[in-house]
Amino acid sequence: MLSKLRKKLRITPELNSKTRTDINFILPLAAVFFVLCLIITLNRYYSFYASFDQGIFNQVFWNNLHGRFFQSSLSSSLSTNVVHSGEVATVYYHRLGQHFTPALLLWLPIYALFPSPATLTVLQVIFITAGGLVLYILARQYLQPPLAVMITGSYYAANAVIGPTLSNFHDISQIPLFVFGLLLAMEKRWWWIFWVLAVLILAVREDAGVNLFGVGVYMILSKRFPRAGLAACTLSFGYMLLLTNAIMPLFSEDISRRFMLERFGQFADGDEASTLEIIWGMMSNPWRLLVELVTPIDRTIKYLIGQWLPLAFVPAVSPASWMVAGFPLLKLFLGKGETVLAINVRYALTVVPGLFYGAILWWSQHPKRLKLSFRRFWAVCLSLSLLFSFTSSSSSLNRAFYFLLPDSFQPWVFVSLPQQWRHVSQFRPMLAQIPSDASVSATTYLVPHLSSRREIIRLPALELRNDARQVIKVDYAIADLWQLQQYQPAFKEERNLLRELVQLFDQLTQTQEYGIIGFKDGVILLKKAATPDPKATAAWLAFRQQLEKK
């Protein structure tokens, strides 16, 4: 009976054995990545190193859960009305004017079961890990198990994957899972799944259509599915234009007055620009376009090397990699800012699917190139990628490994794990003194832990506009001055903020507008119109004197 069933399903004992061998390799690999990343990211959150963006996304999810979809006072503080016009942040600001991210609603039921910023951290690690498993299935469409395992291992060892996974939650973490799923559906000719995933990719954020456009270009140029590719290109390009020029401006002016100018202002004239105007600026000035594409040359080359390294530079010679990843790369190369060419920042994830898919296709055509010497070279590349992932994830942009690698050697800046957890244990009870419905202003690393509320802003700001459209001053202000004190010897931003906050608290206490009701290990808690606590005030003054001596 069993043999008849195997014959009917075309399953042989040998195939069963191969399948079990595949699982024995790939599942432990994914499990190791998942467990390590989860431990590191949860430590980052619970030891108060998750920062402002984690708070933004948590507040968005929290507001979504309460029917106030995509509203965020934290996101409002980054809006053009606040940054450029000097207005007060509002609690009813719709983040969809900055980034159009309806795909986040997919995960709202999970957040409803576990409403915490830590839930977003877990979701991000799940997204990235699951993307690797889909990549393995995709690779098996062309490659034998050993090579497919190597490709998947390269994904889990890539700096462009590890860095964004260990950072704050971000919407782009959905991209590998959706794009690898889209490419797998294309290979299987599961067209209804293909188009569902195409829509989900577009829903990730306003610029995610660039990924779908790249896939469409490959489908056309490879002549495999030209009509579907043309439809994908038309859908993605049309959607991005409609979204950024007609829909997002309904929520705010951020896309034209801030984000387009911050990223592509070199192609525009004036104080605002639409995507159409930016595209025309590129087309009408090809020389500037070429210069922006290749400069700065050193950072551009370094970025490409970082992306190619875990795949032993195979994407550099794979036409399919250039077709699929070319447009996401083009968007980054033409953009301005320090983060666009940072290999450990979330934008790097948009390039990953195209590079890995191209590598799969290249190996399917050159299987004999996998000789022992190349395997050794590939192993060296993977080792270097892991090393660079470790060092870059210890930078000030991430600090996931703050407890292993100093932030600065000269001057020496290092916070050990016991030191940080001891600090957290001392001030954490003060967070419980802030009612869940109270308005609050906090420093960056405290924001995520307080962001499950309607009214929250980042220090040194103290004002926001509430649902009654009235400008109010927050009920509570809390600042981790100890954290700033540790990093200020080497980092100008922390040094300036520490000085500014000390002056602010001096002013607030002298005018008795706020009273100090708590002070523990360099963390100060103030309440509006409160009678100061004598012990807390004395501890603050002692800390204040200590700062002046240094």
DSSP codes of every residue in 450-473: H-SSSSEEETT--EEE-TTS-EEE
pLDDT at 260: 85
Measured CA to CA, the distance from residue 329 to residue 211 in angstroms comes to: 10
Written as six digits, the tokens of 173 are 């973490």
Residue (of 140, 135, 202) closest to 171 by Cα position: 202
Let me know: does 344 contact 398? Beta carbons within 8 Å.
yes
Measured CA to CA, the distance from residue 467 to residue 470 in angstroms comes to: 7
Is residue 521, in this structure, part of any structural domain at all? yes
pLDDT at 294: 87
pLDDT at 97: 93
Measured CA to CA, the distance from residue 320 to residue 312 in angstroms comes to: 16
pLDDT at 410: 86
For residue 68, give Cα distances in angstroms to 96, 110, 287, 324, 329: 12, 17, 46, 37, 35
Q: What pairs with residue 519 in β-bridges?
A: 524
242 lies in the same domain as 137: yes
Is residue 257, in this structure, part of any structural domain at all? yes
357 lies in the same domain as 427: no
pLDDT at 187: 97
The full DSSP string for 315-380 is GGG-HHHHHHHHHHHHHHHH--SSSTT-TTSGGGGGTHHHHHHHHHHHHHH-GGG--HHHHHHHHH
Distance of CA 1 to the CA centre of its chain: 52
Is residue 68, in this structure, part of any structural domain at all? no
Q: At 526, which helix (H) or strand (E)?
A: strand 523-528
Is residue 443, in this structure, part of any structural domain at all? yes
How many domains is the chain partitioned into structurally? 2
103 lies in the same domain as 162: yes
Is residue 378, in this structure, part of any structural domain at all? yes
420 lies in the same domain as 380: no
Neighbours of 334 (CB within 10 A): 18
pLDDT at 232: 98
With a CB cutoff of 8 Å and minimum separation 6, the contacts of 82 are 76, 88, 89
Q: What is the pLDDT along the chain (550 residues), one digit of tens a residue?
A: 434 434 433 434 444 555 555 777 899 999 999 999 999 999 999 999 999 999 999 999 999 999 999 999 999 999 999 998 899 999 999 999 999 999 999 999 999 999 999 999 999 999 999 999 999 999 999 999 999 999 999 999 999 999 999 999 999 999 999 999 999 999 999 999 999 999 999 999 999 999 999 999 999 999 999 999 999 999 999 999 999 999 999 999 999 888 888 888 888 887 888 888 888 888 888 898 898 888 889 999 999 999 999 999 999 999 999 999 999 999 999 988 778 899 999 999 999 999 999 999 999 999 989 999 999 999 999 999 999 998 887 666 788 999 888 888 889 999 999 999 999 999 999 999 999 999 999 999 999 999 999 999 999 999 999 999 999 999 999 999 999 999 999 999 999 999 999 999 999 999 999 999 999 999 999 999 999 999 999 999 999 998 887 6
514 lies in the same domain as 457: yes
322 lies in the same domain as 220: yes
117 lies in the same domain as 176: yes
pLDDT at 281: 86
Is residue 290, in this structure, part of any structural domain at all? yes
Measured CA to CA, the distance from residue 130 to residue 119 in angstroms comes to: 16
Query: HSE on the CB side for 477, CA within 13 Å?
Result: 24
Is residue 7, in this structure, part of any structural domain at all? yes
- The helix/strand/coil state of 11 is coil
- CA dihedral sign of residues 106, 110, 115, 119: negative
- Considering 354, 389, 424, which residue would you say is the last residue of a domain? 389
461 lies in the same domain as 370: no
- Considering 389, 424, 450, which residue would you say is the last residue of a domain? 389
372 lies in the same domain as 317: yes
Measured CA to CA, the distance from residue 474 to residue 472 in angstroms comes to: 6
**Enclosing domain of residue 541:** 415-549
202 lies in the same domain as 98: yes
Let me know: does 152 contact 22? Beta carbons within 8 Å.
no
pLDDT at 8: 39
341 lies in the same domain as 474: no
Measured CA to CA, the distance from residue 425 to residue 151 in angstroms comes to: 42
Is residue 65, in this structure, part of any structural domain at all? no
325 lies in the same domain as 191: yes
